[in-house]
Each structure stands twice: as C-alpha cells, then as structure tokens.
Structure 1
Amino acid sequence: MTRPRPPRAAASPPVPDDDDRPLHPAEERRLRRELASRIDHLWAIAERRRVRWATPPFIPDS
C-alpha cells in the first residue's frame, strides 16, 4: 500500500505585467549581451541574403 502524497506547496504569486523594478546590474548586462548577440546574428543573416541577392545568377555557357 502506498503512502498518500504530501500536500503541494502553494504556488508563488504571479508577477504583474507592470513590474518596473530595476534589474540587478549583472542581470541587465547579461540581457544586453544576449540582445546584442541576437541582433548581430540577425544582421549577419540579412547581410548574407543581401549579398546573395546582389550576385547575378550563374548561367553556364552552353
């Protein structure tokens, strides 16, 4: 016979959407680095596509 489960702990209250507390400086730096990395990644994709579109298509001599 199995023992009954202990009661679950109460869930933490949801964080309100209008929470404008300042971030911890280390957390802000981490988020800024992550955002800059994503922007650089998307910019590199856009640049590769721009170069690809600017290159005339290769048509072999027949």
Structure 2
Amino acid sequence: MPYRRCTGSAFSYRAIYADSALLNQKGEPRSWRRTDSSGQWLEQHFCTTCGSVVFMRA
C-alpha cells in the first residue's frame, strides 16, 4: 500500500484547495510523482527537514 508508506496507516485525511490558497511557503519542498497505468498521476510534496507531506497535486 503506497499510502501506508506516506502516512504510517491505511487511512489519511485530505482537503482540497486551489493552488492560490497556498500562502507563506518557506523553502523549496521536494516531491515525487506516482503514475498509474491509465496515465493519471499524484504528486506529493514534502518538507526537506522533517519529511512530512505538506501538500499534494493530482
């Protein structure tokens, strides 16, 4: 389960916001992208200091 690697659980909470809602971002997050067989992708951006996922794009 790829989500378990990200959250430590089979579950997580998410909210959907427009890109314009991201304010006061400090530093440059790192990211990785996963693509499924249909070509759809999910990109996770995480903190380079602690490794926590900060936001996602799909």
Which interval holds the TM-score relative to the shorter structure? Answer: under 0.3
Structure scoring higher RCO (CA < 8 A, sep ≥ 6) equals 2
When normalised by structure 1's length, the TM-score is 0.19
Q: Which has the larger radius of gyration?
A: 1
> What TM-score does the superposition give when structure 2 sets the normalisation length?
0.20
Which structure shows the bigger proportion of residues in strand conformation?
A: 2
